[in-house]
């Protein structure tokens, strides 16, 4: 696995394991939300300084981003998208 793919895999794995939305991680690390998405899609090439900030934000060692996944491991799942409000049924008003 190439380095960019490895970093993307591990950032997403750690983020999802901790239940942190992509937007929140981006905000906490001081980067743009779309850049965070690009990093996880491997379309962005992060600097060492950025990886250092992400590691600090996620409270992991920088080396965690370079851990090889087991052979044949499924990609990390995504978190549920957006907030889905619970809908309650309205009571019908009686007409007088």
| pLDDT in single tens digits along all 96 residues of the chain | 789 999 999 999 999 999 899 999 999 999 999 999 999 999 999 999 999 999 999 999 999 999 888 787 777 777 776 654 455 555 566 665
Residue 83 lies in a domain: no
Q: In sequence order, which residues have a C-beta less than 8 Å from that of residue 28 and are 6 or more positions away?
A: 57
Do the beta carbons of residue 11 and residue 39 sit within 8 Å? Answer: yes
Q: What is the pLDDT of residue 74?
A: 73
Residue 18 lies in a domain: yes
Count: domains in the chain: 1
CATH number at residue 49: 1.10.260.40
What is the C-alpha to C-alpha distance for residues 44 and 39, in angstroms, rounded to an integer? 5
Q: What is the pLDDT of residue 89?
A: 58
End-to-end CA distance of the chain: give it in Å, rounded: 71
> pTM score > 0.85 for this model?
no
- Maximum Cα–Cα distance for the chain, whole Å? 72
Domain encompassing residue 48: 3-66
């Amino acid at each position: 696995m190439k380095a960019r793919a490895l970093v993307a895999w591990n950032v997403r794995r750690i983020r999802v394991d901790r239940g942190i939305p992509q937007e929140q991680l981006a905000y906490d690390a001081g980067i743009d939300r779309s850049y965070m998405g690009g990093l996880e899609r491997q379309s962005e090439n992060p600097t060492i300084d950025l990886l250092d900030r992400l590691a600090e934000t996620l409270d992991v060692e920088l080396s965690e981003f370079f851990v090889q996944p087991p052979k044949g491991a499924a990609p990390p799942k995504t978190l549920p998208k957006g907030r889905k409000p619970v809908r309650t049924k309205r009571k019908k008003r009686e007409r007088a």
